[in-house]
Structure 1
Amino acid sequence: MGAIVEVALMPWARRMKDKVNLPIRLYWRDGGTPLDLGHFERPAVTIRVKDASGLPLLIDPNLDTLGRAYVEGLIDVEGALADVVAAAHGLADHAQPENGLIGRIKRSFVHTREVDAEAIQYHYDVSNAFYRSWLDENMVYSCAYFENGDETLEQAQLAKIDHILRKIRLQPGQRLLDIGCGWGALVLRAASSFGARCVGITLSKNQHELATERVRQAGLQDRIEIRLQDYRDVRDEPFDRVTSVGMFEHVGLDNLVPYFQQIRRLLRPEGWAMNHGITSTDAHDGETKHGGGSFIERYVFPRGELPHIGTVLRTMQEGGLEAFDIENLRRHYARTCSAWSERFEASAHALRSMVDERTWRIWRVYLAGCAWAFEHDEIALYQVLCRPSGRVAAELPWSRRWLYDGR
């Protein structure tokens, strides 16, 4: 069987060698004749095909097929993780059709309360210990903010929370709603350092349990309420401020206008909101040029959909909100994901004892792949400060200097 497979692969390997010239060596299982996909003295990446069913995923690869082959254990990959990710993109870049149609693939999913709850719990309820192993000490699972570029992850995550709370001009005694509160880091900071009264909502049972316990440990039960609740079901408005950090990626393209309408309904007329989320860099809200969307949907974020920033601003306006400040933090998320990936690799032994091999592989390739995607402008991260449209923002300073003075 091995000899037959090698013979079948040789013509393809020769074509790929001349076409891509990447430092990749391919083996059928643990032996046989190596097939090189480039001209080199020593391979940076070695791929071992463990099962014949993995071959079709390699013949005309993109990030979806390569990721699937790795996660399902059809191939093993050796080499530095950065080299592996670069090699995968190199293969995908040369294998895509010249007309670039993959950049126009759009996904649209049904989003009900039940379906969205299942998707959130699939992603976030792996285990709190799993996330704690590679996140910062406050377990902030969103883009950090590196003010100078040399901060630790812990410092940058705290700076991100403060950056958001300063942008929304949070004042003592104001009522804040945090949509998708995670493990509670933002509401804990808002209550303890800014004197706010907070409601945090999540659909993750694990996050709800731990965030509630963290509030209790901090002695802030009188200022913070953590709810297991869908944003569409919040009815105890008005709120002075609303934050949504790393959540609207789960809303769905067709639901963005109702999502922003709900934020508008929950806000006081003079209130402020911050939407912080990942966006596509395809102007048509489509797939990235290397693929990857099917992999993310299948293994990581079921029914996740990324709009372009243009779509965000249009639907925000249609939802009754006016954007006042827009900041692109793509570089910051590239560094954040790199830090997560490095911590994940450093904790590999412990993490593999917490989850099955398939789950470990999913997260390993996901974090490293996201770092690459943000670094190379395949996806982005925008903070958009907004408020109910049609009102004079008399209390907002004329320049952005107020965000940085005195820091």
Structure 2
Amino acid sequence: MTTTSARIRIADAIGEILPHGVPFRFTAYDGSSAGPPDARVHLHLANERGLSFMLTAPGDLGMARAYVSGDLELEGVHPGDPYEAMATVMDDLRPKLPSPSDAFRILRGLGLSHLKPPPPPPQEHLPRWRRTLEGLRHSKNRDAAVIHHHYDVSNEFYEHVLGPSMTYTCAAFPHEDATLEEAQAYKYDLVARKIGLKPGMTLLDVGCGWGGMARHAAREYGVKAIGVTLSEQQAQWAQRAIERDGLADLAEVRFGDYRDVAERDFDAISSIGLTEHIGVRNYPGYFRFLFDRLRPGGRLLNHCITRPDNHSRASAGAFIDRYVFPDGELTGSGKIISVMQDTGFEVRHEENLREHYARTLAGWNRNLEANWDACVKEAGLGTSRVWGLYMAGSRLAFERNEIQLHQVLGVRPDAAGNAHFPLRPDWEG
């Protein structure tokens, strides 16, 4: 029997927390080990700082801090695509919460000095309570700060990860063998057809990223398009691409908040990957703003990540909130549809593309792995590890129906109730 004063080897402590066995090979700096010696996935805890990270923030945040800092090493899989490692852990990891007395015994055996939190990695954003210094949640200043944290990493970094389309949203694969680039182009055209674009129309694309939708609408449909993004680097890249493609007479990308768009009577609005950043409480104001910017008969296509139900907690987990999408919130498609209807939209169509997002993420992980050295040179090892980890984890979540991707098409009817909509959807013809 281990006494309360005895030292505990790290692997033995893990064995107590995982009584059903360790599904991967684990080794630690104290010489201890656990799990099958021939396991495909091997985690190595390299130093005491890594142990402190995991003890002071149990769960995904502590492990992420140790991994991003290089204190928790992943062997057997490439850091650009740790999908296999994450699948192994999520499939077979069955921790048992120790009793308070056992928890104290384990902590004392590992060393209570490890309960002093080390400074987090520089890639980590502030905790939510400290973000109030940047403004109230989803205020313009705070939204700008959190968007800068994620999207202004480096345009060159994103070129390596996203590929030539520079599209950071779910693609739509027209067939099993479609490439990522083909699927991104198909997604833009699917949106364009759903909102009924025709030459001479006007389009507002909110949260436009690097301007892919605005450029597609201008180039393929002769539409006058305005894109808006809170990322200055995105706006600069997009405007250069517009000028390079000879589309400056039709397309424009602005650096700013969508709430500052003064123009009205747009024929169509696309919102591709923005709603996740709005905040569920702000949905009524968000959809009301978009409704007011449309002419009667105009269409809105809202494309965003959702929960598989309408009652789960909206906020993301600790790792996603601190390292990937600070202040991001997700809810079910039913909530989105109900708010759109309450705002005045007539919802005419919706579909779930979650399997498509899993494929999209797999493509981004492959790009990150293939361009790993260039990505590390551009953005640093820690940031590259963050992106590999979160994209692989998100792929698993889409595959396992823990999150979804819904496109919801709404129309602003005219005063007589006419939606100016065909008897049957015509975008798949």
**TM-score normalised by the chain length of structure 1:** 0.87
Q: Which amino acid in the other structure matches residue 23 of structure 1?
A: P
- Select the residue among 311, 323, 329 that pairs with 1:284: 311
Q: Which amino acid in the other structure matches residue 45 of structure 1?
A: V
* Number of aligned residue pairs: 384
Find the aligned partners of 2:167 and 2:299 in 1 and give their Cα distance: 22
3-state SS of paired residue (1:188): helix
- Select the residue among 311, 323, 329 that pairs with 2:347: 323
3-state SS of paired residue (1:274): strand
Q: Which amino acid in the other structure matches residue 422 of structure 2?
A: P
Deviations 1:154-210 (A, max 9, x none): 100000000000000111101100001111111111011111111111111111101
Distance 1:245 1:73, change over 3 A: same
- Structure 1 runs of 4+ aligned residues shifted over 6 Å read none
Map of 1:25 onto structure 2: 25
Q: Which amino acid in the other structure matches residue 63 of structure 1?
A: D
Find the aligned partners of 1:144 and 1:228 in 2 and give their Cα distance: 24
Map of 1:82 onto structure 2: 83
Q: Which amino acid in the other structure matches residue 244 of structure 1?
A: S
- Select the residue among 312, 317, 329 that pairs with 2:336: 312
Q: Which amino acid in the other structure matches residue 43 of structure 2?
A: I
Map of 2:60 onto structure 1: 63
Q: Which moved more, 1:383-392 or 1:371-380?
A: 383-392
Find the aligned partners of 2:304 and 2:190 in 1 and give their Cα distance: 15
Find the aligned partners of 1:45 and 1:245 in 2 and give their Cα distance: 36
Deviations 1:220-248 (A, max 9, x none): 21111211121111111111100000111
- Select the residue among 339, 346, 355 that pairs with 2:363: 339
3-state SS of paired residue (2:297): strand
1:215 aligns with 2:242: yes
Once the two structures are TM-superposed, the CA of residue 399 in structure 1 deviates from its matched residue by 2.6
Distance 1:368 1:96, change over 3 A: farther
Map of 2:45 onto structure 1: 49
Map of 2:114 onto structure 1: none
Find the aligned partners of 1:16 and 1:396 in 2 and give their Cα distance: 58
Find the aligned partners of 1:334 and 1:5 in 2 and give their Cα distance: 47
Identity fraction in percent: 37
Map of 2:33 onto structure 1: 34
Once the two structures are TM-superposed, the CA of residue 265 in structure 1 deviates from its matched residue by 0.6
Find the aligned partners of 2:350 and 2:52 in 1 and give their Cα distance: 43
Map of 1:14 onto structure 2: 15
3-state SS of paired residue (1:134): helix
Find the aligned partners of 1:134 and 1:62 in 2 and give their Cα distance: 27
Once the two structures are TM-superposed, the CA of residue 23 in structure 1 deviates from its matched residue by 3.0
Q: Which moved more, 1:330-339 or 1:304-313?
A: 304-313
Map of 1:104 onto structure 2: none
Asked if the contact 2:297–2:413 (Cα under 8 Å) also holds between the matched residues in 1, the reply is: no
Distance 1:295 1:394, change over 3 A: closer
Find the aligned partners of 2:395 and 2:13 in 1 and give their Cα distance: 30
Find the aligned partners of 1:228 and 1:110 in 2 and give their Cα distance: 20
Find the aligned partners of 1:252 and 1:195 in 2 and give their Cα distance: 33
Map of 1:172 onto structure 2: 199
Once the two structures are TM-superposed, the CA of residue 273 in structure 1 deviates from its matched residue by 0.6
Find the aligned partners of 1:96 and 1:127 in 2 and give their Cα distance: 41
Find the aligned partners of 1:380 and 1:313 in 2 and give their Cα distance: 15
Find the aligned partners of 1:79 and 1:230 in 2 and give their Cα distance: 44
Unaligned runs of 5+ in 2: 99-127, 130-135
Q: Which moved more, 1:160-169 or 1:114-123?
A: 114-123
Map of 1:398 onto structure 2: 423
Find the aligned partners of 2:428 and 2:7 in 1 and give their Cα distance: 61
